[in-house]
Structure 1
Amino acid sequence: MFFPVLITLLTFISMEGAAWVIHKYIMHGFMWRWHESHHVHHKNVFEKNDLFSVGFGLFATILIVVGDLNPNLSFLFWMGIGVTLYGICYFLFHDVIVHRRIKIKFKSKNAYLNKITKAHYVHHEVHTKKGARYFGFLFAK
């Protein structure tokens, strides 16, 4: 039982680094056309940027299915669980708490949560492809 927990935890932690690289170099790079929808004000329920979540969800699903079907690759199942858990935390933090895409009353007194929320607001001060700071989601300096 130790191995699955370790793989899941390491994958979850690694996802923050992967998310930072993807956000900085892909979303604010050659895939800006999708991500730009997230940096401009709109009243739509969905935005093109949501397609990234679909892609991450498909990636996690493939890892889980392949790992489940092939005992020699069972670690992929636990990696998929780690990616999924990161996605859930990302959704709750980014879409529910920060951007209030789901309307719930929430006021945090937690210093860590307030710090990463502020970092994300700083990221959104820039509405262009270049010049943004703080590309992480769940960890901030």
Structure 2
Amino acid sequence: MNVLIYIGTTLLTFIIMEGVTWCTHKYIMHGFGWFLHADHHQPGYPHVFEKNDAFFVIFAIPSILLFYFGVSPELNVLFFIGLGIFCYGVSYFLIHDVLIHKRFNWFKNTKNWYLKGLRKAHRIHHKHLDKPDGECFGMLLVPFKYFKKSQ
């Protein structure tokens, strides 16, 4: 029974992370954290790393802490919450940095309608170079209209 609870906790955390991502992207990255996120919205940013990459470290901290406290004194549900956050972080990296921004030459010729829709929605998000007036703040769930146009 614990195995099902742990798997369910990991999956539920992963799903909840999409909402957390939307909120942090809209209200933190495009809010008081804009000083770290602004370079990400500049076309042709010339460096391998962006100030925006600091968010990877910031958002990894809760996962690391949950892993730590999730095995002390024995394995508990906190570990699997941390695992859900970690899995979402890996997905975010693969979708956002690899597929969309092509920081690595993987998956660059995808024909998948879903991945093309995510890419289209993110391009719309980046047409706004400044902090206000953004749209499409999510990563895995974006408005359906981008999927219809991407097929």
Q: Give me the TM-score of the superposition, normalised by structure 1.
A: 0.95
Matches of 1:43 and 1:103, distance apart in 2: 17
Deviation at 1:74, TM superposition (A): 1.3
Counterpart position of 1:139:
141
Once the two structures are superposed, residues 5-26 of structure 1 have per-residue CA deviations (whole angstroms, 9 ceiling, x without a partner) of 0000000000000000000001
Matches of 1:83 and 1:112, distance apart in 2: 22
Counterpart position of 1:66:
69
Alignment-mate amino acid for residue 135 of structure 1: F
Counterpart position of 2:46:
43
Does structure 1 residue 56 correspond to structure 2 residue 59?
yes
**5+ residue gaps in structure 2?**
144-151
Matches of 2:117 and 2:71, distance apart in 1: 38
Aligned residues between the structures: 140
Matches of 2:107 and 2:94, distance apart in 1: 13
Once the two structures are superposed, residues 8-64 of structure 1 have per-residue CA deviations (whole angstroms, 9 ceiling, x without a partner) of 000000000000000000100011000001101311000010000011112111111
Task: Give percent identity, aligned residues only.
Answer: 44
Matches of 1:105 and 1:97, distance apart in 2: 6
Q: Give me the TM-score of the superposition, normalised by structure 2.
A: 0.89
Q: 1:112 aligns with which of 97, 111, 114?
A: 114
Does structure 1 conserve the Cα–Cα contact (< 8 Å) formed by 2:99 and 2:107?
Answer: no
Does structure 1 residue 91 correspond to structure 2 residue 64?
no
Does structure 1 conserve the Cα–Cα contact (< 8 Å) formed by 2:26 and 2:137?
Answer: yes
Q: Which runs of 4+ in 1 moved over 3 A?
A: none
Q: 2:10 aligns with which of 8, 14, 17?
A: 8
Counterpart position of 1:82:
84
